[in-house]
Structure 1
Amino acid sequence: MSDPFECELLDWELFDRLAKTLANSIINDGYKPDFMVGLARGGWVLSRVLCDYLGVKDLVSLKVEHWGVTATPDGKAQIKYPFDIDLTGRDVLVVDDITDTGESMMIAVKYVQSKNPDQIKTAALRHIKESKFTPDYYGDVIDWRWVVFPWNYVEDMCNIIPKVSENTNSLDDIKQRLKNDYNLDLSLDQIKEIQGELDRRRK
């Protein structure tokens, strides 16, 4: 079994509160982006919500790969699906869900700069203190932990639950291991639901 690590389940209510805090910090700073780049996949939901809060019509996706399975980096961040858009004269906001290592945001900013925008600023829902990159705007600052976002819940649980299921079929044992090793408090029904999804994905 791999080494355990601390996790946090972030629900939609907290997401909405942090997104509003983030949007207000951008507004209060006087920055008025007219073009948004959402980093795929984690930044998609937040970038769309910020478009709504900030009145931005133009949104594109930029796929930056860094993380493989949950909490395991694939290696150096790299752009998988670049876009060919001239951003001359545009005020751009680059958005991701979290600045963990910071590498995804750094490579994204460098790429967007090559498209000749007038301004680039960056935003993340959550900023990890230990990150190599500090965004211009963020919803809050936290110590490192693996944040399980609502849009990544099933994927993360499908990666974590097998780690605590070795040598046991007991739901109670799995539940206790999740709490002890990952700080995850899942119900027995939630665990069974993920086990069912794991079975489906193996077929």
Structure 2
Amino acid sequence: MAELPEEFNCTITNWEYIYGLCRDVADEVRRDEFEPEVVVALARGGWFAGRCLCDFLGLDDLTSLKMEHYVGTAQKTGEPTVRYPMPEGSVEGKDVLVIDDIADTGGSISRAEAYVEQRDAGEVRTATLQLLDTSEFEPDYVGERLAEWAWVVYPWNFIEDMVDLLSGVMEKADQESYTADELRHYLAEYHDVKRIEMEIAQPNRLPEVLAEMERRGVIEGAGPGEYRLAE
């Protein structure tokens, strides 16, 4: 099981920006005169995009396919496999658009395309909101191409990713306790998450994340306004 490096850049996004990428993908599909009859959204990252594309393209047939690949922000498995298959007959004889949030290696969406084609679908095309230059797979439609690798924190998994990121920086910095400002400092040092970037994308949410980490037993109070990793 491969691990990400201790220090890597992150980009934090918001709903408005991602909604705009959904619109861009839909515009590409219309310009190409492709008229899918069903959207297959890869769980979990493709759900928001899948629903938006149905709205933009006037579709009411949406199904989901779960691929097992990533495990949080710290680990990823090898080849993606199908964990939760689609309902029987959900794409049979239909033209399909497969959508995911991002292609990193491209393994997940490539495997999903092959899986859908094997279910007797009509024409199958693929789309991602974002495409990293590390991807070996080229989707038919792309909202945005990213030249430099970064871990993208989406609004639908903001707390999930921030719990992982903050836990990681606390382990790496190896202090006895941390204030919120110190945690912001380490997020910038290790992951290039600047305070202003985070506050523009997800304003006033660090206290919420810290409270949730405490509720989950990830961290505990270490004095007024200070936190440490729970033992």
- What is the distance in 2 between the residues matched to 1:89 and 1:153? 37
- Counterpart of 1:159 (choices 157, 160, 164) is 164
What is the count of residue pairs matched by the alignment? 202
Conservation of the 8 A alpha-carbon contact between 1:37 and 1:94: yes
What letter corresponds to residue 92 of structure 1 in structure 2? Answer: V
SS of match in other structure, 2:128: strand
Is 1:41 aligned to residue 50 of structure 2? no
- Counterpart of 1:123 (choices 123, 127, 131) is 127
TM-score, normalised by the number of residues in structure 2: 0.83
The structure that has the greater radius of gyration is 2
Could you tell me which residue of structure 2 aligns to residue 95 of structure 1?
99
SS of match in other structure, 2:21: helix
Conservation of the 8 A alpha-carbon contact between 1:86 and 1:116: no
- Counterpart of 1:15 (choices 15, 18, 33) is 18
Is 1:134 aligned to residue 168 of structure 2? no
- Which runs of 5 or more structure 1 residues have no equivalent in the other structure? none
- What is the distance in 1 between the residues matched to 2:97 and 2:71? 25
Cα distance, 1:202 vs structure 2? 2.3
Conservation of the 8 A alpha-carbon contact between 1:98 and 1:124: yes
Is 1:177 aligned to residue 186 of structure 2? yes
- What is the distance in 2 between the residues matched to 1:191 and 1:164? 14
Cα distance, 1:69 vs structure 2? 1.7
Could you tell me which residue of structure 2 aligns to residue 57 of structure 1?
60
- What is the distance in 2 between the residues matched to 1:26 and 1:113? 19
- Counterpart of 2:80 (choices 30, 52, 77) is 77
Could you tell me which residue of structure 1 aligns to residue 152 of structure 2?
147
TM-score, normalised by the number of residues in structure 1: 0.93
- What is the distance in 1 between the residues matched to 2:163 and 2:92? 43
Structure 1 residues 19, 71: CA separation in 2 closer, same or farther (over 3 Å shift)?
farther
Structure 1 residues 86, 9: CA separation in 2 closer, same or farther (over 3 Å shift)?
closer
Is 1:197 aligned to residue 212 of structure 2? yes
Cα distance, 1:89 vs structure 2? 2.4
SS of match in other structure, 1:202: coil
The Cα RMSD (Å) is 1.7
Identical-pair percentage: 37
More moved, 83-92 vs 103-112: 83-92
What letter corresponds to residue 158 of structure 1 in structure 2? Answer: V
Could you tell me which residue of structure 2 aligns to residue 24 of structure 1?
27
- What is the distance in 2 between the residues matched to 1:50 and 1:128? 21
Conservation of the 8 A alpha-carbon contact between 1:11 and 1:150: yes
